[in-house]
Amino acid sequence: MSFAISADFLAAENAKLEAAQAEDYQALGRQLSRRGISIEAMTERAMTYAVAVPTWGVGTGGTRFARFPGPGEPRNIHDKLEDCGVINQLTRVTPTVSPHFPWDKVADYNALRQEAARHELGFDAVNSNTFQDQRGQRHSYKFGSLTHAVKATRMQAVEHNLECIEIGRQLGSTALTVWIADGSNFPGQSNLNAAFDRYMDSLRIVYDALPTDWLVFLEHKLYEPAFYSTVISDWGSSFMAALELGPKARCLVDLGHHAPNTNIEQIVARLIRAGKLAGFHFNDSKYGDDDLDSGSVDPFRLFLVFNELVDAELRQAEGFSPAYMIDQSHNVTDPIESLMASAIEIQRAFVQASLIDRELLSAAQDGGDVMLGHRIVKQAFITDVSPILAEARRRKGGAIDPIGLYRSSGYRAEKTKERPPVEGTSAGIV
């Protein structure tokens, strides 16, 4: 029988921490009350937030140079759902998973949907993969996929995206995420405008096949593996494509897919204004697309992104309904621990941004009071909302200390016994 963390064990571990949690919660409540903020309102707000976990994220990732498989890592989509279920069981903030095809293909998707439900999970956006060749594939994507100069190769990539839509429909998803690695590594290798035109021609076929209630998320990336030019390299290219395709096409923002020091929160603000923000792939970076744990390097930037998101929500910006998903690669940590930590940090940024007194901030901005405006924002950021997050988890049946409880449970050791290592696992990204 497969090992699982029992509700009794979770309750017993929580019981050890409840007194300290109550004390911390009351202390924070008094502090917030002096600022005119209800801690109960913030806790209820925290309980509404959710972010999707990528199925590939529970596997050990890697770099261009090596991948170091971890013990007990998932061998298939069924193992991945088990691990994703544990993340949501303990954090109560990740009720959906985002699958990737063909990595997560199965024979019966209705059965897979029921299996996910047994882990209290649903399915978020489905992701296509035309950035690497698959076994038995007729045409190679070495020189492009949706933008390839050869029509047969482009159509192969289109057909794969259409297949992903059909799979997603069976799983209950309502969005398709498209990221392509197409571009060039040498000047003269590709006609820059022709490549973009071919991208649009291919995407129009995919767009026209979307069910009525679906969206397509266009993901951009500055570089890698195309280091001279990438077809969809920035939010401007993504926005151009989404605008041309129509209302069901929107721009997805990956926090690591920008040039260093780019003002990502301003990009988010612009996309919100245009009604074209699809949502996010959350991670963190130091130098480029590092795929580090969310909030591990630059938590202030994550917070500033949520400052724009909360502002848009509260003023009811037209068309504002972003999708939230984590997108990370874990090479040196237990992926389950990293994903739990990231989910908590993302929720933290959401709650912190919700603490901002919007009326006072607006008055400071309109009055040209620079320091006051900055202090209002910074005060929210430096407020430790950990007791709110812990209380939100406790009330929803999760763990007060998710990582501590996970370690105490022995889950990884048990899965190491159950899951002997196999060659060619579909877990993680190299």
Tell whether 129 is covered by a domain. Answer: yes
Whether 408 has a pLDDT exceeding 70, the answer reads yes
Whether 426 has a pLDDT exceeding 60, the answer reads no
Tell whether 362 is covered by a domain. Answer: no
Give the chain's domain count. Answer: 1
CATH number for the domain spanning 114: value is: 3.20.20.150
Beta bridge partners of 96: 122
Whether 387 has a pLDDT exceeding 80, the answer reads yes
How does pLDDT run across 48-59, given as a tens digit for each residue? 999 999 999 999
Is the distance from CB of 6 to CB of 391 less than 8 angstroms?
Answer: no
Tell whether 369 is covered by a domain. Answer: no
pLDDT of residue 424: 55
| pLDDT over 70, % of the chain | 98
Tell whether 306 is covered by a domain. Answer: yes
Residue 430 pLDDT grade (very low, low, confident, very high; cuts 50, 70, 90): very low
How does pLDDT run across 133-149, given as a tens digit for each residue? 999 999 999 999 999 99
Tell whether 175 is covered by a domain. Answer: yes
Entry pTM: 0.96
pLDDT of residue 423: 63
Tell whether 92 is covered by a domain. Answer: yes
How does pLDDT run across 204-231, given as a tens digit for each residue? 999 999 999 999 999 999 999 999 999 9
Residues 188-208 have a mean pLDDT of: 98
Tell whether 330 is covered by a domain. Answer: yes
Tell whether 2 is covered by a domain. Answer: no
Residue 421 pLDDT grade (very low, low, confident, very high; cuts 50, 70, 90): confident
Rounded to whole angstroms, the Cα distance separating 157 from 73 reads 30
CA-nearest of 278, 373, 327 to 55 is 327
pLDDT of residue 1: 77
* Cβ-based neighbour number of residue 35 at 10 Å: 11
Whether 63 has a pLDDT exceeding 80, the answer reads no
Residues 390-403 have a mean pLDDT of: 98
Whether 386 has a pLDDT exceeding 60, the answer reads yes
Domain boundaries, position 243: 51-356
